[in-house]
Amino acid sequence: MDELPTSRISRSSSCAPPAEAAKIRAGEAAGKVAEIAHQVHGAIGFTHEHSLHRLTRRLWSWRDEFGTESHWSRELGRAVLASGADALWPTITAE
């Protein structure tokens, strides 16, 4: 379930694809937002009567579409490792 085809972005470049980093951060943020929303509402959002339930289920579903955070973290790590030590700083600071 966690395996996806490799990214369409070329792995030959010295920079890791920013889309992978964005997917990782967005997925982590979505999880945190759902957690806080349920804490604010006293976890009532887990019941079917509250609209937060529907929104949270969609948010959790969205996080797993096109790969999980762990999948893209591995892909990003592989791209950074393949670039070599000299490319680490330029990769981190790239646009």
Which CA distances in Å does 88 have to 13, 14, 59? Answer: 12, 9, 33
Domain span holding position 25? 18-93
- Please, are residues 76 and 24 in contact by the beta-carbon 8 Å criterion? yes
Asked whether residue 10 is domain-assigned, the answer is no
**Would you state the pLDDT for residue 95?**
63
Q: Average pLDDT for consecutive 10-residue bins of the chain (95 residues)?
A: 43 58 90 87 75 83 86 89 85 75
- Strands (E) across 2-94 are located at none
In a domain, 24, yes or no: yes
**Cut 0.85: pTM above it:** no
Q: Which residues contact 82 (CB under 8 A, 6 or more apart)?
A: 11
Domain count, the chain: 1
Instruction: Please report whether residue 87 resides in a domain.
Output: yes
